Structure 1
Amino acid sequence: MPRPRLNTEKALAESRSFGHKYVPLLRPLGWLARGWRDLWTCPLPSLLHGVLSAVFGLLLLWWARDRFWLLAGAFSGFLLVAPVVATGLYAISRDIERRRKPGFDSVRRAWRPDNGRLVIFGMLLALAGTGWVLTSASLVTGFAPAPIDKPVDFLRHVVLSEHSLLFEAWLALGAVLAAPVFASSVVAIPLLLDHKVSVLAAVFTSWRVVMAYPAPVALWAALLMGLTLLGMVTAMLGLIVIVPWLGHASWHAYRDLVDTRGLPSTEP
């Protein structure tokens, strides 16, 4: 099958054309600071992303209120597909950076239907998220000593169980599945939005960034996960601010981690 091999080699060569910048360990804090500035530079479309995310979380919570075995995986799966949700936020930050007027039109242009690469990558992340939800539900329902219908059941029979390592296994499996997805997407979607590169090249670039700067990227992953969980435990209300904040900050992470000078832009 020579064609897949040729496509892979082409994508690898394409990803190697992107330079890397020096990124110190605590640079992710700077991404948060710049993301916070972008959020309040263009608050209405930014906060709308957060409101929609919070509403989705509340609907999911209501739907699965008696099925916590499903809910635990669904909320953690949200972290896998969040980079797609933030596509419009990347576009707003790009317009702010380039001294153009940001707004709802920035979001509309980011989601234009002719950009099939973003659709393909979004579908791949959705499949990964769905796979984790099903895996999580199977693990919890198959090995928990009692039905897991409510949060207190999950806490009592999974997290605090003294007779099994189910919670440790659940966390370990989630980390094993989430780590490659995060490594594949940490800069991929902003790169696809910003430049005419293939999906495979964007994924390879994300992996090169992770391998080049493991410590700052690990800190960034911890900040993303910690702040998102904080937004969830505040009855989803915290997501109204946290989702757009992290989305804008992720644009600045991409701009700091990847040097794309000289590459063809997606903009005319």
Structure 2
Amino acid sequence: MAQQTPPTEEQAASLPFPTIRNIGIGAPFRWIARGFSDLKACAIASLFYGFCFTGMGLLVTFVFSHAYQYTSAVTTGFLLLAPFFAMGLYELSRRRQLGEPCALGPTLTVWRRNLGNIALFAAVLTVIFLIWARASLVVFAMFYTQELPSLSGFLSQVVSLENLEFLVVYFGVGAIFALLVFAVSVVSIPLMLDRNQDAITSMIASIRALAENPLPLLVWAFLIVSLTIVGFLSFHLGLAVLMPVIGHATWHAYRDLVEPLPD
């Protein structure tokens, strides 16, 4: 069970390196089920965050319809902000595990618990995403040396695989950045919130969790991507439910992947 009060900075400095557990391939599906359970138990607070995600999704779609070449930059913002909106969802799951009320108020400022390390982690993600946003524009420039096609023309090329080389390079480069972000963030923020762990140790623990459980965590990544796509395809309304489920499930992923501290 999670600790009632996270360690102080002095206590956190003496914490042992997180012990990573081995999990089965079916674990991600259990996390999703627990995420739904948390959503039902903390519906009002969870849906507050869900509608924040819906608003972000609407912004991505607006940019896509007017300047699709910049969609990666705005999507970058979505992916950068998502883990920090999800901090409130992690805290709701933690409070529920402890038998505490699902109050929205305390979750809004949970980031203060370990502000310095969370800020450092945010800076790392920002650098990665800015590089990806720039790289995506370079890929567009390489394959569309003349005038960019209209949105409908671009979508027809995607559907018909007319510009297959562009699609392979664009999504290949994107997949590399996505894997890097996923690797450093599997359990990072929950660790920083639950134990007051430092950012570097948290990111290394996340990479180790992926290295020791590659297949289950790739299934987890596939579920995250699939549910997010479903949310976007449902006129963003699905994001209001599915993103909180993913956020709550991420807390349960952390609880399964990282051995609790001894009492």
With the shorter chain as reference, the TM-score category is 0.7 to 0.9
Q: 1:73 to 1:106 in 2, by over 3 A?
A: same
* Structure 1 outlier segments of 4+, above 6 Å: 13-16
Which residue pairs with 2:178 in the alignment?
A: 178
Offset at residue 91 of structure 1 (A):
0.5
Which residue pairs with 1:32 in the alignment?
A: 32
Q: 1:80 to 1:216 in 2, by over 3 A?
A: farther
Aligned counterparts of 2:117 and 2:260: Cα–Cα separation in 1: 18
Q: 1:140 to 1:259 in 2, by over 3 A?
A: same
Helix, strand or coil at the partner of 1:20:
coil
Which residue pairs with 1:207 in the alignment?
A: 207
Offset at residue 111 of structure 1 (A):
2.6
- Could you report, residue by residue, the CA deviation over 1:110-160 in whole angstroms, capped at 9, with x for unpaired residues? 13276221122123223322322232133124313651442x333233553
Q: Is the 8 A contact 1:141 1:147 kept in 2?
A: no
Which residue pairs with 2:154 in the alignment?
A: 154
Aligned counterparts of 1:154 and 1:134: Cα–Cα separation in 2: 20
Offset at residue 218 of structure 1 (A):
0.4
Decide which moves more: 101-110 or 249-258: 101-110
Which residue pairs with 1:84 in the alignment?
A: 84
Runs (5+) with no aligned partner, structure 1: 1-12, 264-268
Aligned counterparts of 2:111 and 2:150: Cα–Cα separation in 1: 38
Offset at residue 246 of structure 1 (A):
0.4
TM alignment of 1:70-81, pairs within 5 A:
70-75=70-75, 78-79=78-79, 81=81
Q: Is the 8 A contact 2:63 2:71 kept in 1?
A: no
Q: Is the 8 A contact 1:19 1:258 kept in 2?
A: yes
Helix, strand or coil at the partner of 2:112:
coil
Which residue pairs with 1:243 in the alignment?
A: 243
TM-score by length of 2: 0.86
Which residue pairs with 1:234 in the alignment?
A: 234
Q: 1:78 to 1:157 in 2, by over 3 A?
A: same
Aligned counterparts of 1:174 and 1:63: Cα–Cα separation in 2: 18
Q: Is the 8 A contact 2:117 2:192 kept in 1?
A: yes
TM alignment of 1:215-234, pairs within 5 A:
215-234=215-234
TM-score by length of 1: 0.84
RMSD between aligned alpha carbons? 2.4
Residue 190 (1) aligns with residue 177 (2): no
Q: Which amino acid aligns with 1:202?
A: S
Which residue pairs with 2:62 in the alignment?
A: 62
Equivalent residue pairs, number = 250
Identical counterparts, % of pairs: 32
Q: Which amino acid aligns with 1:33?
A: A
Offset at residue 16 of structure 1 (A):
6.7
Q: Is the 8 A contact 1:20 1:259 kept in 2?
A: yes
